Amino acid sequence: MTALILHSKNIALAFGFTFIAVALLGFVPNPLVSPHGVFAVNLAHNLVHLLTGVAFVAGVYLFRGREHKVILVLGGLYFAVAILGFFTKGDMLLGIVHINEADRWLHLGLALAILVSGMVFKSSK
């Protein structure tokens, strides 16, 4: 049995497929990810998750050997979105993306996890 090698390519793919799965989940009524769920989402929020997931996956193939930089860039963008979320009054980020308090904290946690992953896990050669 071979061990899973943790390097930035696999980490980026894991983040990418997770974001895509969450985006798809947001299109199905459920109590976790929905307009009135634990994590508030709307169509725009689901599309952001989908685009983020696609960016992670595409980054693996477009920037071979520099996957950790893709992770750092997307983590930085997510960190900016998280901070912007904390300064947003109400529940509409930039007037189009539905968020709630749980989203704000999740975005911050994800941003930090993504950034740390980009710093810790090196790109494959």
What pLDDT does residue 122 have? 80
Residue positions counted in the chain = 125
Domain that holds residue 24: 8-120
Q: What 3-state class would DSSP assign to 62?
A: helix
30: in domain: yes
Interval 7-26 mean pLDDT: 96
C-alpha closest to that of 114 among 51, 86, 72: 72
What pLDDT is stored for residue 2 in this prediction? 46
pTM of the model: 0.91
Sign of CA dihedral 113, 78, 99, 22: negative
Checking if the pLDDT of 109 tops 50, the result is yes
Across 4-62, the runs of DSSP E, i.e. the strands, are: 33-34, 39-40
Considering its fold, how many domains does the chain have in total? 1
CA-to-CA dists, residue 38 to 31, 81, 100, angstroms? 7, 19, 8
